[in-house]
Amino acid sequence: MKKLSLVLMLVLFGVGSMLAQRTVQGTVTDTEGDPLIGANVLVKGTTVGTITDYDGKYSLTVPEGSNTLVFSYTGYTTQEVELGASNVVDVVMEEGITLETAVVTALGVEKEEKAVGYAVQEVNSDAITRSGASKTLDALQGKAAGVQLTRASGAAGGGTRIVIRGQTSLTGDNQALIVIDGVRVNNSTFQSEGNHAGVANTNRLADLNPNDIESISILKGAAATALYGVDGARGVVVITTKRGKGTDGKKFKVDIGSSVAFSEVTQITPTQTTYAQGWAGVYYPPETGVSTSWGPPVSELAWDGATDYAFDPNGHIVSKDDPSAVKPVTPYDNIGTFFQTGVAFNNNVAVSGGSDVANFRFSYGNYSEEGVIPKNTFERNTFKLASDLKLTDRLSMSASANFSKANGRRIQQGSNTSGLMLGMLRTPITFDNSGGFDDPANTEAAYRFPDGSQRNYRGGGGYDNPYWIINLAPRFDEVNRLFGNVNVEYKLHPWATLSATLGTDWFSDRREQQFEINSRTAPSGRVFEDNFFFRNTDIYLNARGSGNLTDDISLGYLLGTNLYDSHLENLYTEGNGLSFPNFVHISNASDVQSSRYINNKRTVGFYGSLDFGWRSMLYLTVTGRQDYVSTLIVPDEPFSLSDIGFFYPSASLSFVFSELLPNDDILSFGKLRLSYAAVGGGPPSAYSTTTPFVSASAGDGWADPVSFPFNGVTGFTQSDNLGNPNLEPELTVNKEVGVDLRFFKGRLGLDFSYYTMLSDNQILPVDLAGSTGYTSAVLNAGSLSSKGIELVLTATPIRKRDFGWDLQVNYTRNRTIVEKLAEGLEALQIGGFTGTGMFHITGQPFGVLYGGAYLRDNAGTDADDGLTIPDGNILINDDPTSGEYGFQQPDPTLRVIGDPNPDFIVGITNTFTYKRLALSFLIDWKQGGDMWNGTMWALTFFGRAQITAEDRDKIVVFDGVLSDGSPNNIPVRVGQNYWTSSVGGFGSVDEGFVQSTTWVRLREVTLSWDFNPKWFSGTFVEGGSLVLNGRNLYFWTPYLGVDPETSLWGTGNAQGFEYFNMPSTRSVSVGLNLNF
């Protein structure tokens, strides 16, 4: 760290020293004489620049020794103007395509767009900051083809998953690699509990303030990412952060921004408001502990007005005809009254300045959110300092440091007796979770009796009262993080620029979970402290050069080495059995156990790339990388580098065929892309090559296990997972073809990509029969294939002085198929509950839903493949002695019952500008993708789902046939007997609860207004803007539950499973930005 601060000092001192200079001004117009607003004016070869104002005017201080200005504007041809004697330079720009536009490719190398033989898509800073999203990944929603983002929940601080071009690994990480300013940063979402319970954890890219982002480049295919090595196979998000720029004669430039957002919950699983707590039509009060709402209609019930009844201030519930009845029962709304309006404040300030010799940018951001769930908070403070220093003409340095501190107070969720929605939705309408208090979230008597026992609808058993959860089962966390990099670059020769980059990322994530005595998850009380510490080092040494060999042939090369080292440490301490209440602390626990886990990995890579260009028409890039990975090492055995190393190549071709065509006004540009790339990979986890001993535990699935130390005695057992010293590297092969067409001088653009991917020899844990002495082994087994289409359509239907309309459509279609699992292994569960969940099944899409189906009349016949649901008629139970007479029946064979992967995703952004106003809206359409509605499944059993009220007295004849093949003619009542049967809630048929998550949503609406700078003349303010923003304002979906964008498995591989998920939110915000 000493080094870093030294660099920063240098930079700061350098800022003051300005050289001799002149001021140039002028106007930029289009061919019709209309001024161009916001055109970019840059002093060539420097970072000094400005943009034109509303009248197309600019004024720029040009440093001594510089004599060329570069004018650029989206949709217009870039111009370079040599400065003469005059200090006035007016420019007329022509519509056209800027073929020299640079895109950021692997390792931060900027390449001309036309020379790139694979798909790259860029998202700029405006699109991110104006999205109104507080976290970077959320801001990317709908803005790039091939990218699928899933927000785990609307809880404050919840994580978001990013997958580019489908999955490449059966069981490993499938999320894109995140690279900030050339070095990789951690975007993990650490879990403290099982994935299906616990709290919504944050993915760590959230530690980056979106306001610090200059641009994001999305590298999709392996040809684009091959130089990043193993982790690049999943796609790479290359983030470039903002830096200081020449500030036009002023010493400093200040930007401040402030916004406030209000949010509310979106839809929640529909529940009935007709029937009371009870069973078989009889009311059972809370103290009986009865879990269900199969009681009588509330219209038949009354309160007796007793004032001494602890469970209800309105008294006991009696029949309305009972003599003690005083007032008819009205249903309580335990759901609508629980949530609040979430409020989030976002404040940012950035100071930047400098000259062409040195510059800096410092920013501070504070984001503070109180969620829609009371007492659910998330706060983030970020500090970022970036600077560049040109020591000599040849030697330059740059550095950036980002410090962040994030704090959360989170709420238990999911499949968990302390899960918020679980207790809330199961609560009968005859029980008031709030206890009649106006502010139950802050009134202990609402959820806790004076003796410390819990006030809930099951007399203290069952599930936690939501108000108990938010007060007495909180999770606190704090992340302190520093990431940044130092880069030194030396121009040795026109053909040799040497650079060294050192990046590092350090953070600690400290968590404490409390469960007060009488919490249902831990009736005797529990507290755990879960501490993560992460550190990585990412070093690159590169030599590169480029130039023209002849007028027709250009050549470029890159040679380098990369060293990546990561260290993750986890220290978990759990205390159980609190001695006394109101002090949930490890020192109050009667039984304390601790565990520590360290994961070290190291990779060394050598890589090279060669670029050939011919006549601005043909570009060929070939790359190769040799990696050595620590995870292939077998400890205690001598090894040579060749045992842990592997090589993989890539080649990509760009053919600008429009160069061959006569110039016309229709097709302005056309490019064909072809690429092939292979990427190798080692075992995704460290220590897979050995079978160690582990601290023992004993038990079965029914109850919490016994663990060691047992009564002070230590116990170890050989690991059930057999290590494998003979692992070989994985290999992913990617082929891509694409075409980039621009029409009408770029007013219309179409970019199409088709790709295939085959990932073979995957290293994964494979289940073994117990009789082998192990339960799983790490094997080279399994392969995955993907193919997909991406389409990006851009259009500027209208471009007038005062009015413009831009349109961008991103279309994504991906199919990933599990080609092979291990020998003899047909299915591999990756998430869900025992028997129902997400499985990899040979020949099926990635992670399909697998579970119980209705029995069909042709099950087990030749028409039945034993895997998918056969297309026969549903067989109705026609055994009159059965309690399920007239119902469907469960098929004893589990089946593929759904595919959580979407058919396609479309993002449509329309932007309208009128004078200084801009209105843009993003429509996000996801077609297909199934989800198991476990919430509804469970709530039907409890008689709480809306459907159980609609059908409670209805007599129906289910579709199906009887055992003799004749159509079903048995009338049955769809009431308690049905929904608590083996085909109802908690039954073994899941098929009926699989629903489509297709949605169309208004993801983003932004109205921004740039202030007229004339207002501020004479003040120190230069300009500003007002931004109104709405996120997720409306969506339409057939899914009968919470917003299906939520995911119980958070950012993990298993998607399509909903079980008392936290709902999503919609929000509106207003923000003011000013710059000085």
Partner 1 sequence: MMKHKITALFLGLALLLGFNSCEDYFGDINVNPNVPTDVPPSVLLPSIEVGVADLTGGDMSRFTAVLVSHVRGVARQWSSIDNYSFIVPSNFDNAWRYNIYAGILQDARILKQKASEEGAAYYVGIADVLMAYTWMMATDVWDDMPFTEAFQGTDNLQPAFDSQEFIYGKIDDMLAEAISSLSGDGGDLLPGSDDIIYGGDAASWLKAAHAVAARAALHRALMDPNKYYGDVLTHVADGFTSGADDMRLQYTSGPTSAAPWYRFNRDRTGDIQMFTDDKPSKLGEIMMALNDPRLPAYSYDFEDFDNHPYFRADRAYPLITYYEQKFMEAEALMMTGGDAAAIHDAFVAGIQASFDAMGMDATDYITAVDPGEGNVTMDDIMTQKYIAMYAEPEVYNDWRRTNIPQLTPNSGSTIPYRFPYPSSELTLNLNTPPVDGLSAITDPANKVWWDIN
Site for partner 1 in 567-606 (CB under 8 A): 576-577, 590-591, 593, 596-598, 600-602, 604, 606
**Residues near partner 1 (CB under 8 A), total:** 91
Angstrom distance (rounded) from CA 340 to CA 373? 6
The H or E element containing residue 963 is none
Residue 859 beta carbon to partner 1: minimum distance, rounded to whole angstroms: 15
Using CB under 8 A, which of 693, 862, 871, 881 touches partner 1? 693
Give the residue among 151, 107, 100, 146 at the shortest CA–CA distance from 123.
146
Scan residues 498-537 and list those touching partner 1 (CB under 8 A). Answer: 498, 500, 523-524
Scan residues 1022-1061 and list those touching partner 1 (CB under 8 A). Answer: none
For 685, counting Cβ atoms within 10 Å of its Cβ (0-12 exposed, 13-18 middle, 19+ buried), the class is middle
* Spatial contact of 721 and 691, defined as CB atoms under 8 Å apart: yes
CB closer to partner 1, 372 vs 568: 568
Using CB under 8 A, which of 17, 666, 769, 1018 touches partner 1? 769
What does each C-alpha distance from 1 to 8, 10, 15, 179 come to in angstroms? 11, 15, 22, 20
Q: What is the DSSP string of 860-880?
A: TSTT--SSBPPSSPBBB---T
Angstrom distance (rounded) from CA 152 to CA 200? 7
Rule CB under 8 A: is residue 777 a binding residue for partner 1? yes
Using CB under 8 A, which of 321, 666, 713, 862 touches partner 1? 713
Residue 433 beta carbon to partner 1: minimum distance, rounded to whole angstroms: 22
CB closer to partner 1, 383 vs 708: 708
CB closer to partner 1, 156 vs 781: 781
Residue 177 beta carbon to partner 1: minimum distance, rounded to whole angstroms: 21
Give the residue among 364, 363, 390 at the shortest CA–CA distance from 15.
390
- Virtual CA dihedral for 585, 588, 593, 596, nearest 10 degrees? 30
- Exposure letters 692-728 (e unless 16+ CB within 10 A, then b): eeeebeeeeeeeeeebbeeeeeeeeeebebbbbeebe
Using CB under 8 A, which of 547, 702, 862, 1018 touches partner 1? 702
Using CB under 8 A, which of 17, 550, 711, 1017 touches partner 1? 711
CB closer to partner 1, 718 vs 963: 718
CB closer to partner 1, 716 vs 803: 716
Residue 366 identity (one-letter amino acid): N
Q: Of the ranges 69-77, 348-356, 719-727, 908-916, which one interacts with partner 1 (CB under 8 A)? A: 719-727
Beta bridge partners, 493, equal 496
Angstrom distance (rounded) from CA 562 to CA 289? 62
Give the residue among 287, 571, 244 at the shortest CA–CA distance from 387.
244
Using CB under 8 A, which of 442, 548, 717, 969 touches partner 1? 717
User: Three-state DSSP class for 127?
Assistant: helix
Using CB under 8 A, which of 532, 687, 752, 932 touches partner 1? 687
Angstrom distance (rounded) from CA 754 to CA 738? 6
Rule CB under 8 A: is residue 698 a binding residue for partner 1? yes
CB closer to partner 1, 209 vs 291: 291
Scan residues 447-466 and list those touching partner 1 (CB under 8 A). Answer: 461
CB closer to partner 1, 197 vs 1027: 197
In this structure, what are the phi and psi dihedrals at residue 286, rounded to the nearest 5 degrees? -55, -40
CB closer to partner 1, 344 vs 498: 498
Residue 848 beta carbon to partner 1: minimum distance, rounded to whole angstroms: 17
Residue 828 beta carbon to partner 1: minimum distance, rounded to whole angstroms: 11
For residue 179 the two structure tokens come to 């690279």
Using CB under 8 A, which of 731, 779, 791, 849 touches partner 1? 779
Rule CB under 8 A: is residue 835 a binding residue for partner 1? yes
Rule CB under 8 A: is residue 699 a binding residue for partner 1? yes
Using CB under 8 A, which of 86, 771, 1017, 1019 touches partner 1? 771
Angstrom distance (rounded) from CA 907 to CA 812? 9
Rule CB under 8 A: is residue 774 a binding residue for partner 1? yes
What x-and-dash track marks residues 409-448 binding partner 1 by CB under 8 A? ----------------------------------------
Rule CB under 8 A: is residue 686 a binding residue for partner 1? yes
Q: Of the ranges 37-45, 702-710, 905-913, 1017-1025, which one interacts with partner 1 (CB under 8 A)? A: 702-710
Residue 513 identity (one-letter amino acid): Q
Scan residues 372-401 and list those touching partner 1 (CB under 8 A). Answer: 394-395
* Spatial contact of 1039 and 931, defined as CB atoms under 8 Å apart: yes
CB closer to partner 1, 333 vs 826: 826
Residue 414 beta carbon to partner 1: minimum distance, rounded to whole angstroms: 18
Scan residues 466-495 and list those touching partner 1 (CB under 8 A). Answer: 490, 492
Residue 681 beta carbon to partner 1: minimum distance, rounded to whole angstroms: 15
Using CB under 8 A, which of 703, 871, 880, 1017 touches partner 1? 703
What does each C-alpha distance from 56 to 41, 217, 643, 803, 940 come to in angstroms? 11, 29, 63, 15, 64
Rule CB under 8 A: is residue 853 a binding residue for partner 1? no
CB closer to partner 1, 506 vs 628: 628
Contacts of 915 (CB under 8 A, 6+ apart): 802
Residue 691 beta carbon to partner 1: minimum distance, rounded to whole angstroms: 8
CB closer to partner 1, 345 vs 986: 986
Q: Of the ranges 14-22, 259-267, 766-774, 945-953, which one interacts with partner 1 (CB under 8 A)? A: 766-774
Using CB under 8 A, which of 321, 451, 700, 964 touches partner 1? 700
CB closer to partner 1, 543 vs 1026: 543
For residue 680 the two structure tokens come to 């190798």
Scan residues 13-42 and list those touching partner 1 (CB under 8 A). Answer: none
- Virtual CA dihedral for 658, 661, 667, 670, nearest 10 degrees? -20
Scan residues 608-667 and list those touching partner 1 (CB under 8 A). Answer: 628, 630-636, 639-641, 644
Residue 688 beta carbon to partner 1: minimum distance, rounded to whole angstroms: 9
Scan residues 535-564 and list those touching partner 1 (CB under 8 A). Answer: 539, 541, 543, 561, 563
Sign of CA dihedral 95, 100, 105, 108: negative
* Spatial contact of 236 and 224, defined as CB atoms under 8 Å apart: yes
Rule CB under 8 A: is residue 892 a binding residue for partner 1? yes
CB closer to partner 1, 456 vs 1029: 456
* Spatial contact of 590 and 632, defined as CB atoms under 8 Å apart: no
* Spatial contact of 153 and 404, defined as CB atoms under 8 Å apart: no
* Spatial contact of 558 and 542, defined as CB atoms under 8 Å apart: yes
CB closer to partner 1, 446 vs 983: 983
886-889 LR contacts (CB < 8 Å, sep 24+):
886/957, 886/958, 886/968, 886/970, 886/971, 886/972, 887/958, 887/972, 887/978, 887/981, 887/983, 888/854, 888/855, 888/958, 888/960, 888/983, 888/989, 889/854, 889/855, 889/982, 889/983
What x-and-dash track marks residues 805-824 binding partner 1 by CB under 8 A? ------------------xx
Q: Of the ranges 15-23, 665-673, 717-725, 913-921, which one interacts with partner 1 (CB under 8 A)? A: 717-725
- Virtual CA dihedral for 98, 102, 103, 108, nearest 10 degrees? 180
Residue 836 beta carbon to partner 1: minimum distance, rounded to whole angstroms: 11
CB closer to partner 1, 176 vs 896: 896
CA 341 to chain centre: 24
